[in-house]
Amino acid sequence: MRLQGKSAIVTGAGSGIGKATAQRFAAEGAMVICAGLSKADNQATVAEIQAAGGRAEAIEADISRDEDVANLVTRAIAAVERVDILINNAGQAVIGTVEEVSSEDWDRQLDVNLKSIYRTSKAIWPHFKAQGGGIILNTASIAGLIGTPGQVSYGVSKAGAVMITKCMALDGAKDNIRVNCVCPGWVPTPMVDYHMSQLDDPGAFQARIERLHPLGLGETQHIAAGFLFLASDEARWITGIALPIDGGLTCGLVAD
């Protein structure tokens, strides 16, 4: 098992990429703290992990609130004594152009997708320093690497996730704190389902997205596998990268 004896906090663990990552980490031997807004979803993930023979605990937390983040980190450390890995995965998608996105939605988007990474990382940083190191992994997106129409606030938030990863990697290196992020392509998640529901012609969009991925559309398990590698000892000389896991989407133009 690649994470035997390790412990991890996974935010947004109630569904999608976060759930798949929590399950994969537990299957690889980690004790997983499943954190998120929905108590029911967190507990459902924990129940599935435990039914499969893994170890997990649920902690309800709103990562847009400083006090919730502080409580999450304090409770997690109390529960497992040593937290080795933090997965900043919680997020949301606001659809719209710069003309369409409201000021309130813009602020909320950057708060949930970007400032939350700052909050959780700041809260756990002293713990990582004191124990001689730790790993922070962030969920960015291909939308943080290339422009995407109709996703101005989402793209900006994910580009910020890439850059905060690089800056924290430099700051953390002297204390053996490794920081990386993954940039998923389109995989089936509740966030993607929401995006599709806002479109006039979801079927046409689905067909277009499928064509843009040379290897076809992926699954949440593919993203979890990327997180697993970056959290493992095999990646101990890797920090500051933004790893696309996108079926080749960001390679370049795809012929119709």
* pLDDT tens string 205-230: 777 788 889 999 999 999 999 999 99
Looking at residue 202, what is its pLDDT? 72
Looking at residue 199, what is its pLDDT? 67
Please report, for the domain that includes residue 89, its CATH number.
Answer: 3.40.50.720
Tell me if 74 is assigned to some domain: yes
Spatial CA neighbour of 30 closest among 8, 11, 63, 15 = 8
Looking at residue 256, what is its pLDDT? 60
Q: Write the single-letter amino acid at 150.
A: G
CA 93 to chain CA centroid, Å, is: 13
Tell me if 206 is assigned to some domain: no
Tell me if 198 is assigned to some domain: no
The label of the residue with tokens 């922070």 reads 136
End-to-end CA distance of the chain: 42
Tell me if 132 is assigned to some domain: yes
Looking at residue 122, what is its pLDDT? 98
Looking at residue 44, what is its pLDDT? 97
Tell me if 86 is assigned to some domain: yes
Q: Is the pLDDT of residue 195 over 70?
A: no
Per the structure, the complete domain to which residue 93 belongs is given by 7-186+219-244
Tell me if 255 is assigned to some domain: no
Predicted structure pTM score:
0.95
Tell me if 254 is assigned to some domain: no
* Whether residue 194 lies in the annotated active site: no
Residue in 25, 125, 154, 186 annotated catalytic = 154
**Domain count of the fold of the chain:** 1
Q: Is the pLDDT of residue 78 over 80?
A: yes
Tell me if 157 is assigned to some domain: yes
Q: In Å, how far are 86, 213, 225, 245, 246 from 220, measured between CA atoms? A: 18, 15, 9, 10, 11
